[in-house]
Amino acid sequence: MNNLREFIFLTEPNIILVVMGTLILCGMAALVGCFTFLRKRALVGDAVSHSVLPGVCLAFILTGEKNPLYFLIGAIITGLASLVIMEWLGRNNKTRPDTAIALLLSVFFGLGIVLLTSIQHSGNAGQAGLDKFLFGKAASITKDDVLLFAISSIFIVGGIIVFLRGFTVLSFDENYAQSIGFPVKRLRFILAFITVWSVAIGIQAVGVVLMAALLITPALAARMWTDSIIKMLIIAVFIGLLSGYTGAFISYTAPAMPTGPWIVVMATFMAIISMVFAPKRGYLNRWRETRNNNRITLEENILKLFYGLGEKTGNPNGAIIKEDLNNARSFDPSQLSKGLKILQKKGYVNDVLQTWQLTPEGLIAAQRVVRLHRLWELYLQKYLHLNPDHVHDDAEAMEHVITPEIEAQLDALLGNPQTDPHNTKIPPAI
């Protein structure tokens, strides 16, 4: 309870530094990561996060001190170098993009490990703690670090606000951005610089190994909730801040738990919640939509079957036994029973002495399904020049999603036809 109280009320200076530094880093990484995610450059972010390690090591070798500003400059230089090489390889068609990313990631990270090992065996007492850049150590954040993070965040957020429109168009369609006159090369460089900058300052909290996750995971979670770029940026920042705060809290209350990995774990947990429960793209909602579409398709296929059998007997409202329904179309028996029960609840069919027949409302619904099916068959035959024997399956796939507006347009386009490609009467509009 004491640890909980100390963390919530920020009673210790070290807690304040860790929380402030972590929140700035996580919020900024989430903001920049949205554009990386939208441009489908997630692996590029991973390569950049690994390529900053040699820059940090070189900065220490050249200066002999652990100055955050020197580390930042070194990290930005090697991070940008990796992007330039990656761009050059792609432009000259030397290798596939994924191969170039994998190559640069391993080469730069390997070079960083070599330099880090060399530093550790150099005898320089100032190198203690330098290896924390691999996995991060938020507890080591100092007042100078927080100041550097704050200044960096001001410039990065300011740059995103100034170039937001350009970054947005570039993220969704680079060719379109170029066609309407946007300076694509300049925008790409600015966005790359901002990305490298945010990665360079973020590695102290989560390390080079986990930095890519901090870039992409909040953006992934935010994208599940909205189609608006502004809302996505806000949601991603919120998730980044929340994951940073909860990760720092867990690390403080359980000292054996490192902060960086817990930040990533919490961000991943929020991403999983978003992927499951988001109202439009969430798996739960998609499952419901799929189940609902399957139910509608089943109902309409049964109604269409009633109408077709009624046409053959000349009595659309005639009683039909379940076996005739099943023989006319290979339904799964359980699905057929389920569909009939649903239609009965809706008042579309009646069960009379173990036979089934359409109600007046059911006949109207069945006529509309059959009408849509036959209109679409005629469209496929007339405009796509399909053989009449090959239009049934395509028409059956489309009939369940045609709206009344499309129905009216289809009818007008076909000239209010009376028969389908098989010379079968098309039911009138009701």
Sign of CA dihedral 414, 418, 423, 426: positive
CB 227 within 8 A of CB 279: no
pLDDT one-digit tens code per residue, 298-329: 899 899 888 888 888 887 777 788 787 777 77
Domain C-terminal end among 229, 255, 278: 278
Distance separating alpha carbons of residues 247 and 153, to the nearest angstrom: 20
Pair (164, 139) in one structural domain: yes
Mean pLDDT, all residues of the chain: 85
Residue 71 is predicted with a pLDDT of 83
Pair (329, 247) in one structural domain: no
Residue 8 is predicted with a pLDDT of 67
Residue 2's pLDDT band (boundaries 50, 70, 90)? low
Pair (228, 321) in one structural domain: no
Residue 65's pLDDT band (boundaries 50, 70, 90)? confident
CATH at residue 77: 1.10.3470.10
Domain C-terminal end among 234, 252, 278: 278
Q: Is the pLDDT of residue 10 over 70?
A: no
Residue 355 is predicted with a pLDDT of 86
CATH at residue 428: 1.10.10.10
Pair (251, 369) in one structural domain: no
Distance separating alpha carbons of residues 122 and 115, to the nearest angstrom: 10
Pair (230, 340) in one structural domain: no
% of the chain with per-residue pLDDT over 90: 28
Least confident of 145-159, 247-261, 400-414: 247-261
Q: Is 365 exposed, middle or buried (0-12, 13-18, 19+ CB in 10 A)?
A: buried
Q: Average pLDDT for residues 145-167, to the nearest whole number?
A: 91
φ/ψ (deg, to 5) at 135:
-120, 0
Q: What share of the chain is helix, strand, coil (3-state, %, to 5)?
A: 75, 5, 20
Q: Is the pLDDT of residue 81 over 60?
A: yes
Residue 280's pLDDT band (boundaries 50, 70, 90)? confident
Pair (274, 300) in one structural domain: no
φ/ψ (deg, to 5) at 66:
-95, 70
Pair (78, 126) in one structural domain: yes
pLDDT one-digit tens code per residue, 191-226: 989 988 888 887 766 777 678 888 899 999 999 999
Pair (76, 221) in one structural domain: yes
Query: How many Cα atoms within 13 Å fall on the side-chain side of residue 288?
Result: 9
Q: Average pLDDT for residues 95-118, to the nearest whole number?
A: 83
Distance separating alpha carbons of residues 184 and 19, to the nearest angstrom: 37
Distance separating alpha carbons of residues 163 and 182, to the nearest angstrom: 11
Pair (223, 95) in one structural domain: yes
Domain hosting residue 271, numbered range: 2-278
Q: Is 74 exposed, middle or buried (0-12, 13-18, 19+ CB in 10 A)?
A: buried
Residue 247 is predicted with a pLDDT of 86
Pair (220, 323) in one structural domain: no
Pair (342, 382) in one structural domain: yes
Helices 259-277 and 184-223 sit at what angle, rounded to 10 degrees?
70
Pair (115, 20) in one structural domain: yes
Q: Average pLDDT for residues 38-54, to the nearest whole number?
A: 83
Residue 12 is predicted with a pLDDT of 73
Number of domains in the chain: 2
Q: Average pLDDT for residues 238-248, to the nearest whole number?
A: 91
pLDDT one-digit tens code per residue, 16-40: 888 888 899 899 999 999 999 998 8
Residue 149's pLDDT band (boundaries 50, 70, 90)? confident
pTM over 0.85: no
Helices 164-172 and 143-162 sit at what angle, rounded to 10 degrees?
70
Least confident of 18-22, 96-100, 235-239, 339-343: 96-100
Residue 344 is predicted with a pLDDT of 92
Domain C-terminal end among 251, 278, 305: 278
φ/ψ (deg, to 5) at 256:
-75, -10
Sign of CA dihedral 96, 99, 105, 110: negative
